[in-house]
Amino acid sequence: MNSSAVTAESDPAESALRAGLSWGVKGSFTRYVASMPDGRYGAGHGATETADGAFFFELDDASGYDPRAQEGLVKYRGDVRFKAHGGMLFVMIVDPWLEFHEDGVLLTVVDAERWPDRDHRITLATLRPDERGSRGLPPGWRCQEARLSAEGAAVFNDVYPVGEVLEPARYCTGVPTAAHDAESVTPPVAPGR
Ligand code: HEM
């Protein structure tokens, strides 16, 4: 799936001008669910579906993020659910957080196995900066390549192997970044237009 929710073509009002996380999770999974007669998916509680089939999770709290060190925690919020096979397939992607560590970035979500307890989280994906994908995004937006973690593989019934490439995660922390950040990207549309 070519999820490019933060480009001017798709929906600048929704994404380029608001801090958030734009992530299509796994496009082939969305298509698989959508292809079934009883397949349903939807977004709410801070998440919206974008025109190209990705999901936009609004920024919740970036106070735990240090833009200088590029480390810490950025919380996004939203609830995306997939359902099919008469309810046997039920996947929830709730409140994705990006955890920036010295040695990498993790995308965590609420552990659906413990729902409605939201305090337990699992690592769904490991991320790696995608410099090419970051080009052309609005100022302050970045792109990370996402790969399925071991805990994430279980979410998808172990159909995908650990390391499976997921949709790229595009995000804005809402925290003013270093000056070079703004210079390194070419906004596809003037902010505020
Ligand atoms: C009634 C039980 C199920 C049946 C009969 C079933 C059947 C199938 C079939 C036939 C495919 C291949 C689809 C294709 O290639 O177009 C598939 C793919 C898949 N199934 Fe299921 N499935 C079942 C339950 C589940 C459950 C509970 C999950 C949990 C998330 C799941 C996750 C997946 C995933 C992730 C794929 C790969 C989708 C893709 O990326 O192409 N399935 N399933």
Tell me the per-residue pLDDT of 141-158, one tens digit each, with 9 for 90 and over.
999 999 999 999 999 999
Report yes or no on 146 lying in a domain. Answer: yes
Residue 180: pLDDT over 90: no
Residue type, 3: S
CB 6 within 8 A of CB 19: no
Report yes or no on 179 lying in a domain. Answer: no
User: Helix (H) and strand (E) counts for the chain?
Assistant: 4, 12
pTM score of the predicted model: 0.86
Report yes or no on 164 lying in a domain. Answer: yes
Residue labelled with tokens 């240090």: 66
Please indicate whether residue 19, judged by its CB atom, sits closer than 6 Å to ligand 1. Answer: no
pLDDT at 145: 98
pLDDT at 177: 67
The H or E element containing residue 160 is none
- pLDDT, one tens digit per residue, over 78-110 is 999 999 999 999 999 999 999 999 999 999 999
Q: How far is the CA of 161 from the centre of ligand 1 (A)?
A: 14
Residue type, 61: D
From the alpha carbon of 89, which atom of ligand 1 is closest? 27
- The fraction of the chain above a pLDDT of 70, given in percent, is 82
Please indicate whether residue 159, judged by its CB atom, sits closer than 6 Å to ligand 1. Answer: yes
Separation CA 186–CA 94 (nearest Å):
31
Report yes or no on 168 lying in a domain. Answer: yes
What is the count of structural domains for the chain? 1
Q: Is the dihedral of CA 185, 190, 192, 193 positive or negative?
A: negative
Please indicate whether residue 91, judged by its CB atom, sits closer than 6 Å to ligand 1. Answer: yes
Report yes or no on 24 lying in a domain. Answer: yes
Per-residue pLDDT averaged across 3-19, rounded? 50
Report yes or no on 181 lying in a domain. Answer: no
Report yes or no on 28 lying in a domain. Answer: yes
- The fraction of the chain above a pLDDT of 90, given in percent, is 80
Separation CA 85–CA 91 (nearest Å):
12
Residue 76: pLDDT over 80: yes
Best residue for ligand 1 mutational test, from 28, 159, 164 (most atoms within 8 Å of Cβ): 159
Report yes or no on 185 lying in a domain. Answer: no
Residue span of the structural domain in which 90 resides? 12-172
